[in-house]
Amino acid sequence: MWFKNLTLYRFNKPFTTDEDTLEKALAEFSFSPCTSQDVSKFGFSKPFGKHGVSLVHCANNRLLISATKEEKILPGSVVKEAIDEKVALIEEAEQRKVTKKEKDALKDEVTTTLLPRAFSRRSQIQALILLDEQLILVDSSSAAKAEELLALLRKALGSLPVIPVSFSTPVEQQLTSWLAQGHAPAPFVMQDEAELKAIADEGGIVRFKQQDLQEAEVIAHLETGKQVHKLALHFEQSIALLLQADVSIKRLKFSEEFRAASDDVGNDDPLVRLDADFSLMSGELVALMKALIDVLGGLESKD
């Protein structure tokens, strides 16, 4: 349940849907496994899995939702081999070349035949809706997957007025300034990893990892005009993260000491423990969002 990545969105119109209304809307698009002829299925699922009782978990005006995707694994090489075999039989029997249109029809036939025997894989994606802050945080390193979840949510609700989070000053300018100054503004602490890019499209990219970012080699790249597009940071003593110029956050990691703060609830009741972990995590993510918005100079106007 602990988020590992963040793709950030905000509402451009007030979002006031309550927990019960959201629960009913998601239920209409709940996940069901693939049938023998389904290539994939995507639907909402319980964020607490087998321990959960609902499709929406709410605490302190923060809503946790989850979606599950099941996909049939049907390798292209297997499909091609089966098509080639059928084409060879037809061409031998009828002494003619099989047309492209016929091959396309054969592909559909082969896929239908193979699907019931294909293996399946499932993946889950979660999102945190912050009603007070009017933000949605999607736990995904892929913008495309995040948009897929939002599209399903939009379908369930009828509309979803969200836009990607952006700041009044480009993030790469802010990160470059921090690196040049040798420190990030509190409560963030700069770490030992960064990626710099030349402003020109054809310019180079240089990456530093496990290196003192104040060394002359690093600063020299700033002096040639490169800008920082990725920067590793610590937030307070609780979260390590990689902040990117596109405002996404990768490799989000909560410290063991921070996570241990909910240990006093024990593990006797898994649902109680999950709820305690959720409250702890969501509260710190709210603090992280507020701090980011502050140090990055505020959100870009919606107009």
Q: Per-residue pLDDT tens for 63-114?
A: 999 999 999 998 889 889 999 998 899 988 999 999 999 989 999 888 888 8
User: Which pLDDT belongs to residue 303?
Assistant: 62
Containing domain of residue 228, as a range? 171-295
d(CA 19, CA 80): 48
* 157 neighbors 56 (Cβ within 8 angstroms): no
Q: How many structural domains does the chain have? A: 3
Regarding whether 289 and 151 lie in a shared domain, the answer is no
Instruction: Say if 18 falls within a structural domain.
Output: yes
Measured torsion, CA atoms of residues 19, 21, 26, 27, in degrees rounded to the nearest 10: 110
* 10 neighbors 165 (Cβ within 8 angstroms): yes
User: Which pLDDT belongs to residue 44?
Assistant: 98
Regarding whether 155 and 14 lie in a shared domain, the answer is yes
pLDDT per residue over 25-59, tens digit each? 999 999 999 998 899 999 999 999 988 889 999 99
Q: Alpha-carbon Rg of the chain, whole angstroms?
A: 24
pTM as predicted = 0.88
pLDDT per residue over 228-275, tens digit each? 999 999 999 999 999 999 999 999 999 999 999 988 877 788 889 999
d(CA 144, CA 74): 22
List of residues 6+ apart from 303 with CB closer than 8 A: none
Regarding whether 43 and 147 lie in a shared domain, the answer is yes
**Buried (b) or exposed (e) across 224-244, using 16+ Cβ within 10 A?**
eebbbbbbbbbbeebbebbbb
Regarding whether 152 and 11 lie in a shared domain, the answer is yes
Closest CA to 120 of 77, 75, 71: 71
Helix axes 143-157, 19-27, angle to 10 degrees: 100
Regarding whether 34 and 88 lie in a shared domain, the answer is no
Instruction: Say if 17 falls within a structural domain.
Output: yes
Under DSSP, is residue 115 helix (H, G, I), strand (E, B) or coil?
helix
d(CA 272, CA 3): 18
Q: Can you give the length of the chain in residues?
A: 303
d(CA 218, CA 108): 55
User: Which pLDDT belongs to residue 301?
Assistant: 83
